[in-house]
Structure 1
């Protein structure tokens, strides 16, 4: 999945596949995770959030299953 770089203290890059409803997040520590069943409007809210890391922790992580693609360094 293609990811775009972010200006964030905890997140390095993010990508979204709307057809699969998968949000892929690369953290600054090197870990890469995919969050499953993320709806388009949730992704838009994530993109609009002042703090993407805070939104991810408050809204995405608690309510979505995930896959770890790469362990943190």
Structure 2
């Protein structure tokens, strides 16, 4: 597994817990709105930050795409 893929899994697991979602819900949300692509593109910067910053950054990213998060 690449370091970018491992980072995406880390982000998915942390965001899932942060929003009280299931893994399936979180994976679908990330796929639907391109979060995996975003995390991969900005891996160099994001992997140096903490999980709280990353969760907040994902929230901003999803909000800018008018994402609907259903728990």
TM (norm. structure 2) is: 0.39
The structure richer in helix per residue is 2
TM (norm. structure 1) is: 0.39
